Structure 1
Amino acid sequence: MLIIWPIFYGVLYGSVYSKGKLIELPIIVVDQDNTATSADLIDMLEQTELLRIKEIKPEAVGINKTFIGEAAYAVVDIPVDFEAKVMQGKSPEVNTYINNVNLLPSGYVNRTIASVVATLNAKKTSAMGLPLAALHLNTYRLFNPSGTYFLFAWPSYLFLVLEAVVMVVFALSFAAEQENGTLGSLYLQAGNSVPLMLAGKLIPYLLLSLVSMLVYIIYFYLFRQPYPTHVLALLWSNAIFVIACALIGIIVGTLVKEQLKSLQALMILSMPIYIASGFSWPYDQQGGQLAQWFSKLFPYMPSVNALHILLIEQGGFADIQKYLKMQYIQVLVYFILAIVTIRLLVQSVTTQTKSLN
């Protein structure tokens, strides 16, 4: 343990941060002018190391849905008569909409777009002998427009704590059953049915977790934070999240068998789960596949991304389908693994009991 985990951490963290900087952040350009000058602006945006033009659209329709659906960090809207107004020195306005969900990349994207527009401005005005005022950039920050780190970080940390607590509680519960020798009797009380045994353990804690969700709702009002419009979608995603965390705890508690060791195992896992989730460092900027594969094994990554869509971007069920499907698959796999490990353990305990008799 002392040797293996530090080695694994080093490889995992290297996989996350190996690029060392943000590059090729996807943006969308709306070119309503379609002239040589608008093409120059698009080329200059594409030539920057930081930005990558994901799509060029003819009109700006549904900007908010574009961010959620296209996973873009910004939309640059080039207006009609852009070139004509530049040539006439009438200061055309370029509107930029910044996706402010993740404050780290949004700041870099905003500064880079502003720099490109300023460079084009200087280039055109110098060529025409006009004063430096040919272009004007309007920046609109969508989703967390004030840029408060509290809205970005606080709900995610609450989910991280909830994940750790749920996994630890279930791991300790099943490890204690083994230490006390009561797992076999628990299995008999459930009518020799592992699914019923799991349901008996899951339902009470699931109800307690819903109480925790209600407390979180009070926190939103207490700290004066915006509340999600699609509450049912958030509660549904959270319920699946809790079930997935509980099943992981059950698997760990069944395999490790000792309360202290199961607690240690989950504590070791908690930090890499957070690092690889894409919360602090953008998921699409991770340098290797290892971190992305690792994050997909645990419920925090899809849950925290769904949380940001529902809470900050005010999305709904349709906008989080990708993450819900990932959660469904995780729950199914965890459920099968939990049944298999418990059944094997019960059979082992039963065999040992019969041999002693």
Structure 2
Amino acid sequence: MLHHLPSQWQLLRHDHWLLSCLTWVPVCIGALLWWIFSQGVLHNLPVGVVDLSQSQLSRQLTRYLDASSTLAVTHQYQTVAQAKDDLITSQIYAYVIIPPQFDKKVYRGEQPKVTSFYTSQYILVGRLINSAILQAQGTLNAQIEGLKTLAHGNQTPLSAMGRAVPVQTQMTPLFNKNNNYTQFLVSAAVPAVWQIFIVVLTIM
């Protein structure tokens, strides 16, 4: 095999593209992939809210959505059609529909349905948005249940919250505390790109 090295070296000297593919091009592509995914953690993803209730409780839910580090309520719509158009054109990643008479139905115990639509073309984005929306709704539900318990009297705020949320869950992520996608995407993408280069060079 060693006796082929001089001829291979001569080939590399005369074929600048082949030499580039074996030296600086893979390094540049690896650096480019790292730069693309350098943000690491997704936050402030633009979402919209269609508030058909325009009540204090619906505005409270909107504030909870916007308070999430993952979401940013950048658009508020009058109709569902407007929100759908912006979702199709990728101006937002999701929108939440708060039904009419939201506060009245909550206080009457009718369980109004808050509907959310998000694009599932981006798996990671969709998963994060879904989790953040559920967390915001869970926070509002706990607050409402706590207020209902306090309204009956003979309860302290702490005990009322204990009745609203009888079991608290603490989830501690290990090895990737910030859900940084760079750690697993780049480590898989760089070898894949390198394999593509090997195939291209073999064909050439």
Into which bin does the TM-score normalised by the smaller protein fall? 0.5 to 0.7
Q: Which has the higher contact order (CA 8 A, sep 6+)?
A: 2
The Cα shift of 1:117 comes to: 0.4
What is the Cα-based RMSD across aligned positions, in Å? Answer: 2.7
Task: List aligned pairs for 1:186-197, cutoff 5 A.
Answer: none
Deviation at 1:22, TM superposition (A): 1.9
Query: Would the aligned equivalents of 1:25 and 1:50 in 2 still touch at CA under 8 Å?
Result: yes
Separation in structure 2 between the aligned mates of residue 84 and residue 77 of structure 1, nearest angstrom: 16
Find the counterpart in structure 2 of residue 188 from structure 1. none
Q: Which residue of 1 aligns with 2:37?
A: 17
Question: 1:90 — aligned with what?
Answer: 110
Distance 2:123 2:146 in 1: 35
Structure 2 counterpart of 1:168: none
**1:70: Cα distance to partner?**
4.2
Structure 2 counterpart of 1:40? 60
Measured after TM superposition, the shift of residue 113 of structure 1 is: 0.5
Residue of structure 2 in register with 1:107 after alignment = 127
Structure 1 counterpart of 2:50: 30
Q: CA deviation at 1:10?
A: 3.2
Q: Does the CA contact (< 8 Å) of 2:77 and 2:83 recur in 1?
A: no
Residue 72 of structure 1 contacts residue 99 of structure 1 at CA under 8 Å; is this kept in 2? no
Offset, 1:67: 1.6
1:64, CA displacement in angstroms?
4.2
Name 1:117's counterpart in structure 2: 137
Q: Which residue of 2 aligns with 1:291?
A: none
TM-score by structure 2 length? 0.59
Measure, in 1, the Cα distance between the counterparts of 2:116 and 2:136.
12
One-letter code of the match for 2:116?
T
Report the equivalent of 1:49.
Answer: 69
5+ long unaligned stretches in structure 1: 133-163, 165-262, 268-357
Task: Give 5+ residue unaligned stretches, structure 2.
Answer: 1-19, 152-162, 165-195
Question: SS of the residue aligned with 1:65?
Answer: helix
Structure 1 contact 26–72 (Cα < 8 Å) conserved:
yes
Match among 92, 96, 108 for residue 76 of structure 1: 96
Displacement, 1:98? 2.2
In the alignment, the residues of structure 2 paired with residue 64 and residue 77 of structure 1 have an alpha-carbon distance, to the nearest angstrom, of: 11
Q: What is the TM-score of this pair, normalised by structure 1?
A: 0.35
1:100 is paired with a residue whose SS is coil
Residue by residue, what CA displacement relative to the aligned partner does 1:38-89 show, whole Å, maximum 9, x if unpaired? 1111111111111122200122126543321243221100111111222233
Cα deviation for residue 3 of structure 1 reads 3.7
Q: What CA deviation, in whole Å up to 9, does each residue of 1:137-177 have, x standing for no partner? A: xxxxxxxxxxxxxxxxxxxxxxxxxxx9xxxxxxxxxxxxx
* SS of match in other structure, 2:95: strand
Distance 1:14 1:34 in 2: 44
8 Å Cα contact 2:65/2:136 also seen in 1: yes
Within a 5 Å distance, the mapping from 1:321-336 to structure 2 comes to none
Letter of the 1:127 counterpart:
L
